[in-house]
Amino acid sequence: MRSGEPCESIPVDDRAVQYGDGLFETVAIRDGEPRLWNYHSERLLTGCARLGLPVPTEQQIQDELNSALEAAPIDTEHCVAKLLVSAGAGHRGYRRSDSPEGTLLVGLAESPRLSEVQYRDGVKVRVCDTRLAIQTQLAGIKSLNRLEQVMARNEWQDETVFEGLLLDTEDRLICGTMSNVFLIDSHSLVTPAITRCGISGVMRRHVLAVVEQAGIACDIRDVASSELNSCQGAILTNSQFGVLPVNRCTDRSWELSDLSRRILQLVTASGVTEYAA
């Protein structure tokens, strides 16, 4: 696995550049430590196995991350680490070399902080025109092929819209461009199954564990886009911002429900403290 000094460039013939032949993780560093690391690590390993990519060892990732944290000119108590694993350099054409060496890169950046108002009152979302293609082989993992998200995110410039929700080509609600979504009724919770497309977010997984522990039922199933019109609210999850309520979706608006508030409090109590901050 090619890695080493924190670097600012990557060989042009790396397969990440040529074909998006790799995966990434964006890990929240909080109090100097990677948050939900086990979930990130598991998704990365699952993805490497699924795509047949070289697998970095836990030690390699740890060493890279530590070097990056030591060298970074930013506040490393609160930042975001981006890990990138690719099939490595060389070998022209779609066929990989027989024993690819692989590339592991870690970069750090400042983690955007949202306002207290956004956590308290919620954010506005829209439904994107861009659809997610159904491709079970890539569903769930965080590959470097992200043009659908790029196209969706670039549909709007309106700064008051925080996120865009994505439907698949068969009209199911799947996720946001950079987040997962839960729909809320008075006493129940549902989140789309990530089996045909979309990314299985680590914060989605954390919220699922937290609500289960608290005895709140959450269905994981196919969600028709029309359920956005019948539900009583929604929350978004993301590794960096944690959990955010939605107060407006296109022409519908929602009050923050008791259940939404309870989930936000449970997530805060679990150590994801953005909401409380």
Q: Does 200 bind a copy of itself (CB under 8 A)?
A: no
Cβ of 22: how many Cβ atoms within 10 Å? 27
Please give the Cα distance from 274 to 277 (Å, whole number).
Answer: 5
The residue from 96, 142, 172, 248 that contacts a copy of itself (CB under 8 A) is: 96
Q: Given its phi and psi angles, is residue 242 left (phi above 0), alpha (psi -120 to 50 degrees) or beta?
A: left
Choose the binding region for a copy of itself from 7-15, 202-210, 220-228, 268-276 (rule: CB under 8 A). 7-15
Q: Does 109 bind a copy of itself (CB under 8 A)?
A: yes
Closest CA to 166 of 140, 198, 144: 198
The residue from 69, 104, 105, 108 that contacts a copy of itself (CB under 8 A) is: 105
Q: Does 154 bind a copy of itself (CB under 8 A)?
A: yes
Choose the binding region for a copy of itself from 101-109, 116-124, 219-227, 262-270 (rule: CB under 8 A). 101-109
Q: Which of residues 10-29 bind a copy of itself (CB under 8 A)?
A: 10-21, 24
Please give the Cα distance from 194 to 142 (Å, whole number).
Answer: 12
Q: Does 87 bind a copy of itself (CB under 8 A)?
A: yes
Say if strands 172-176 and 22-30 run parallel, antiparallel, or are unpaired.
unpaired
Q: Does 68 bind a copy of itself (CB under 8 A)?
A: no
Q: Do 180 and 236 contact (CB within 8 A), yes or no?
A: yes
CA distances from 157 to 76, 126, 166, 221, 250 (A): 31, 12, 17, 32, 15
Residues that bind a copy of itself (CB under 8 A): 7-21, 24, 51-52, 84, 87, 92-96, 98, 105, 107, 109, 130-131, 133-135, 137-138, 143-154, 157, 169, 177-178, 197
